[in-house]
């Protein structure tokens, strides 16, 4: 009987340590979002609807939506939506983000806010399971963002 209890305790310890290791390895800084075109914007801008998924109520703010919008414009592209068409990502290289990790780590600390604005009155939040789904319309200064990436040497200039 004591052998069975010992084996069960060892099995439980193994399972528990696996779960703790998994939680530590999980990259919680990874953005979870979807982005789709919303309406036609003025020349040089994309107007998109961004839905970000956050775990804490304190993470619900305009900053997370701006970050997701800029990240989507750079690396993911924009899916077709209500009133607009799809857009290709500004960085066409699949490895641009990892190759320029130092630049983008610094860029996504503060500078990204210069290229996206949340449209007033469009923020909505829905509780989903243990987290929240935050949606808003965001205007992205696509041309200015492209110029900044060209000056940083991340993407090639148009026509060259």
Q: Looking at the domain assignment, is residue 94 inside a domain? A: yes
Give the residue numbers spanning the domain of 91.
28-151
Q: Looking at the domain assignment, is residue 76 inside a domain? A: yes
Q: Looking at the domain assignment, is residue 137 inside a domain? A: yes
Torsion of the alpha carbons at 68, 71, 73 and 79, rounded to the nearest 10: -60
Q: Looking at the domain assignment, is residue 123 inside a domain? A: yes
pLDDT tens per residue, range 126-148: 999 999 999 999 999 999 999 99
DSSP letter string over 101-153? Answer: HHHHHHHTTTGGGGGEEEPTT--EEEEETTEEEEEEEEEE-HHHHHHHHHHTT
Q: What is the pLDDT of residue 21?
A: 31
Number of domains the chain is built from:
1
Query: Between vectors from CA 41 to CA 74 and to CA 152, what angle results, nearest 5°?
Result: 30
Query: Between vectors from CA 152 to CA 97 and to CA 109, what angle results, nearest 5°?
Result: 60
pLDDT tens per residue, range 39-58: 777 888 999 999 999 999 99
> What is the pLDDT averaged over residues 67-78?
95
């Amino acid at each position: 009987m004591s052998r069975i209890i010992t084996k069960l305790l060892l099995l439980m310890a193994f399972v528990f340590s696996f779960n703790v290791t998994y939680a530590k390895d999980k990259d919680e800084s990874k953005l979870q979002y979807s982005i789709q075109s919303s309406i036609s914007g003025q020349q040089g801008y994309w107007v998109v609807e961004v839905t970000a998924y956050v775990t804490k109520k304190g993470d619900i703010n305009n900053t997370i939506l701006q970050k997701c919008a800029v990240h989507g414009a750079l690396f993911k592209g924009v899916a077709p939506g209500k009133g607009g068409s799809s857009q290709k990502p500004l960085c066409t290289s699949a490895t641009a983000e990892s190759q320029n990790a130092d630049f983008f780590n610094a860029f996504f600390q503060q500078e990204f806010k210069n290229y996206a604005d949340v449209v007033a009155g469009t923020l909505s939040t829905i509780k989903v399971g243990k987290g929240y789904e935050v949606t808003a319309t965001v205007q992205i200064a696509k041309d200015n963002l492209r110029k900044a990436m060209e000056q940083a040497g991340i993407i090639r200039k148009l026509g060259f």
